[in-house]
Structure 1
Amino acid sequence: MRAPSSLLSVAAAILLAYPAATSALVTGHRHDVHRRDVGPPPASSAVPVPAPTVNPSHPQGGNPGPKDKLFRLNVINRLPADKPLYVYITGYDREKREGFIRPPADAAAGAQWFIPDARGEAQKPVLITEQLFQQVPGGGDPAKPKPLSLLLPTAIESGRIYFSESPLNFSTVLTAGDRPRSAVVAPSISDDQDPAAKISWGFVELTYKDETEVRDGGNRLYANLSFVDWVGIVLGMSVKPRPGSPGDPKTRIIPGLTGPGGQNPEKALGAICKELKDLGANDKRLAWWGELCVTGDKDQPLRILAPNIYNHPAKTRSPEFLKYWDGYVDKVWARYKDPKKPLRVNTQLQAGTGMEALNGTGATCDCVTGAGEAGSMRCSCPVIEGQGGGRDFTFARPATGDIFSCNTGAFAPVLDASEQKFRQLRARLCATFVRSTLLLPDELGSLTPNKAVTAKQYYSDVTTDYYSKVVHKYLKDGKGYTFSFDDVDPGTENAAGVIEMEDPQVMNVVVGGWVEGDEKLGMQE
Structure 2
Amino acid sequence: MSSIKRKLMGLFGKKSNKQQPMADTEGDSKPVVAAVPASAPAAVDQDNDSIYWSAYKQGSQQKPIAENKVVQKPVSNAASSGTLQVQLKNDSNSSTVYAYITGQALDNNNKLFLLQSDAKTAYYPDNPSSTGTSLAQNVSINLGAPGNTVTATIPRLAGARIWFSIGAPLVFKVNPGPGLVEPSVFNQSDPNINTNFGFAEFTYNASQVFANISYVDFVGPPISLSLTDTSGATQHVSGLPANGLNTVCTALQAQTAKDGQPWSSLIVKSNGQNLRVLSPNSGILLNSSWFQNYWTDYVNQVYSKYNTTPLTIGTQASYGNVNGQTNGSNTLNYGAGGQFAKPSAADIFSNSSGPFATGSNAETNAIIPRLAAAFNRSTLLLSNNTPDGTNPSQYYQNAITNHYARILHATTLDGMGYAFPYDDVTPDGGVPQEGAVFSGNAAMMSLSVGGNSAYKA
Q: TM-score, normalised by structure 1?
A: 0.71
Q: 1:74 aligns with which of 87, 90, 93?
A: 87
Q: Please give the residue correspondences for 1:332-343 in structure 2 after superposition, counting only pairs within 5 Å.
A: 332-338=302-308, 341-343=309-311
Instruction: Please name the residue that 2:142 is paired with.
Output: 135
The 1:96–1:328 alpha-carbon spacing in structure 2 relative to 1, beyond 3 Å, is: farther
Q: Which residue is 2:326 aligned to?
A: 369
1:423 is displaced (CA, Å) by: 2.2
Residues 189-228 of structure 1 aligned to structure 2 (within 5 Å):
189-210=185-206, 219-228=207-216
| Unmatched segments (≥5 aa) in structure 2 | 35-77
The share of aligned pairs that are identical, in percent, is 26
CA contact (8 A) 1:224 1:480 kept: yes
Q: Which residue of 2 aligns with 1:86?
A: 98
The alignment status of 1:151 with 2:153, answered yes or no, reads yes
Answer yes or no: is 1:413 the counterpart of 2:358: yes
Q: Which amino acid aligns with 1:301?
A: N
| Change over 3 Å in CA distance of 1:376–1:67 after alignment to 2 | closer
Q: 1:33 aligns to what? A: 19
Counterpart check, 1:294 vs 2:278: no
Query: Structure 1 residue 420: deviation in Å?
Result: 3.6
How has the CA–CA distance of structure 1 residues 40 and 396 changed in structure 2, closer, same or farther, with 3 Å as cutoff?
A: farther
Which amino acid is 2:358 matched to?
A: P
CA distance in 1, matches of 2:142, 2:202: 20
Name the SS of the counterpart of 2:202 in structure 1. Answer: strand
CA change 1:254–1:370 in 2 (3 A) is: same
- Give the CA deviation at 1:476: 0.6
**1:43 partner amino acid:** V
Query: Following superposition of structure 1 onto structure 2, how do residues 94-133 of structure 1 map, counting pairs within 5 Å?
Result: 94=106, 97=110, 99-103=112-116, 111-119=121-129, 121=130, 124-133=131-140
The 1:505–1:369 alpha-carbon spacing in structure 2 relative to 1, beyond 3 Å, is same
Query: C-alpha displacement at 1:294, in angstroms?
Result: 1.3
Per the alignment, residue 164 of structure 2 pairs with: 163
5+ residue gaps, structure 1? 1-13, 46-64, 140-144, 175-180, 211-218, 244-248, 259-264, 352-362, 381-390, 520-525
Per-residue deviation, 1:235 = 0.7
For 1:208-287, list aligned pairs within 5 A.
Answer: 208-210=204-206, 219-243=207-231, 250-258=233-241, 265=242, 267-284=243-260, 286=261
The alignment covers a number of residue pairs equal to 407
1:235 and 1:164, CA in 2 relative to 1: closer, same or farther beyond 3 A? same
Bigger shift: residues 495-504 or 91-100: 91-100
Please give the alpha-carbon distance, in whole angstroms, between the structure 2 residues aligned to 1:19 and 1:504. 22
Task: Give the match for residue 183 of structure 2.
Answer: 187
How far the C-alpha of 1:70 sits from its partner, in A, is 1.9
Aligned residue among 298, 321, 325 for 1:328: 298
1:467 aligns with 2:420: no
Q: Which has the higher contact order (CA 8 A, sep 6+)?
A: 2
TM-score of the superposed pair, with normalisation by structure 2: 0.81
1:90-133 residue CA offsets vs partner (Å, 9 max, x unmatched): 1112266352331597x7xx6424244133x4xx4444353222
Per the alignment, in what secondary structure is the counterpart of residue 253 of structure 1? strand
Query: Could you say which residue in structure 2 is the equivalent of 1:507?
Result: 445
What is the match of residue 53 of structure 1?
none
Which aligned segments of 4 or more residues in structure 1 are displaced greater than 4 angstroms?
Answer: 24-28, 34-41, 516-519
Partner of residue 404 from structure 1, selected from 338, 349, 352: 349
For 2:297 and 2:32, the matched residues in 1 are separated by 35
Deviations 1:417-463 (A, max 9, x none): 2x5433221111111111110111xxxx211111x412110001111
CA gap of 1:495–1:371, structure 2 versus 1, over 3 A, is same
Which residue of 301, 307, 312 maps to 1:344? 312
Separation (CA, whole Å) in 1 of partners of 2:408 and 2:343: 24
3-state SS in 1 of match to 2:253? helix
- Deviation of the 1:187 alpha carbon: 1.5
Mapped to 2, the partners of 1:250 and 1:101 lie a distance apart of 29
What's the offset of the Cα at 1:231?
A: 0.9
Larger-Rg structure = 1
User: Tell me, what secondary structure is at the counterpart of 2:367?
Assistant: helix
Question: 1-side partners of 2:398 and 2:31: how far apart?
Answer: 38
Q: Distance in 1 between matches of 2:4 and 2:304?
A: 38
Q: Is residue 2:433 matched to residue 1:495? A: yes
